[in-house]
Chains A and B, each alone.
Chain A
């Protein structure tokens, strides 16, 4: 008999739903993509509706609904935290009580109200938070057995877990407990450097190559005690998160020469050096944890999940260190991925569904293209209803050639093709794409489309089979989770000393560093996505056509949104974003829309005010 399970993560940050049938991942999506509210933490009713539709089932046909976290244990932690912190923690306690006792505890009621029932089991099941992360990493991976390493801010009590997955399922043997957390340490620096906790960590990682690790010693001597076996403790005297809404406190300020940087103010040398310093500490910790996981598990391969596993610079180092033969990382590693993990954990651990392995030796995550798709007929109906002029090119190769030629001519293109990605990265289904050879493309795309100045280069997508022509990378990186060096012969050396003495980041960023300037970071690295024809044939075809025209099999891939907006989901979202920005071309499945042909786009209000910065 078939078993269908709905996984849910919500009420914290970035809610999501996922549906697994007999161990096969059928659908997964984040609520923000439908509600258009970035990192939407509300109960994921739209994402759930989508998952049920994709599976062609009604809610009463679900065998189970599974929540990704244990609210009793989370409450246990909150209470003990507040008792330890004493009176200053009252405000925090009040907020936590409202959110856990008032909302999270009642997830079963939310599910019943939203779905009209609780499926066949008549109740909601729960997984432990790190088991959900572990399941999201192990079950879709291509490994029959693997060491498991999960790393995040905190889930219930755990911040780090080490274990093993095999035919008997998942075992988590050792953990590190709150408040000692690599995720929270990294978030503390994210906060201190003026970025938003829970989403600005990516910026801190991108800032690191501008800096030198001059504060590394101070961090190690004062903030973290890291043992050889990778276990660690933080010194809570320097952190604010036990008893306030700040990640750091005055003692932390004193250690680093003053208060935190104000968001949106100028980034100074201090922030660049802090970013590099904490990155160095994090990488060292991850390598030690991985060595320990290898020893303990005896497994040759590693799987990872949890928010810290999105640190693709650390992941790249881990790969090159060769501690494990192979590494696989869940792309939806943040809490959204907990929905998928909860469903997988229950499928295998509760219902005993046999594990599905791909006969071709690849993973079973389907390229993470697990969200809604729109047929050509739906797209055309939308365009015709609104009278938006378009050109339809049905032949996939002809279409790829036309779009590739536009890219080569410097046109910036919005690309909506196939099922939407699950996880924080756009992987060619909801992407803005451009020509990486152009020296001005990085600033053009940032200023005219993303409406930001960015110190981070864009990510490249390349064909899986010729990644090594451009990057020192000999494995697939389908989820943009590995940072690899751009090949040395492509790089243009520059004066490092002058660079470190320069506080003007834009001057640095606008200096070409390789023959692919828009995707090469200041340390000559790139955050690579390798594209496999089985995962996304249209995207693959497009890059191949670009290669035939230009000789370069690499394009720029950035998420299809403006800053602070969730990535687009539907053709209507995509059209709106296209018209709000200075993109030249929009591809909606097999329909091409040129900006120059579109009627004027009138909107009430200033949409820029709708979106907050990370």
Chain B
């Protein structure tokens, strides 16, 4: 029983990262109906920016905020330059765009900062949390940050006019234009917010996995799994999905013989496929209705 509790707690801790990543995935999916395969690389690049700022002597929280601002602007720029022109293009063209973006960001990061792993600091320290050996203060901080993010997003979408406009633009673009909403800018804003959220995920995970250009590969797949499980249209679902995937990953690694660390990724992929077959809208998503 003790082992089980430990694994669930550890799963919640890693799940916080997936939850963060899934939030970013859902933000873009809401805006453009596509999964952004380059989301992880964008987060990685943002994390390098934070690292670089700290190398230059900027204190942690200053670097954190500057990175948020940079990522927000960068997300908007990517949408304006690359994906706005592709808005009416077929799905495959968009997928090609995401893959190109993935490759470009990955090699740029390698070029600028090379592929050796780097230490990334945590603002929460890494001592045992509340004297418990189960999770560290960093992991507790990560869970807290994810929760704060979710609450902020909830208030933003529920109680602000710009949040309302973004929801309207995502749900019914034509009607949104007819009430005067600039839907194209709402999409750009969604990209900016997703990039900023992704950068938080990157900065939270970097102290755990070390900073290097390929650090987000696995995380993004878990983020996708979390988003699909929770429902691609629900930020709340994305967070719940993130925690569930984290727990599931840890329990499977512990109790199913032969899974170990190598097989954890295929488990995430299998989870995506099972959810898509059994409950395509996810646990909390709106059922997808195709208009004819």
Q: Do A and B bind each other?
A: no
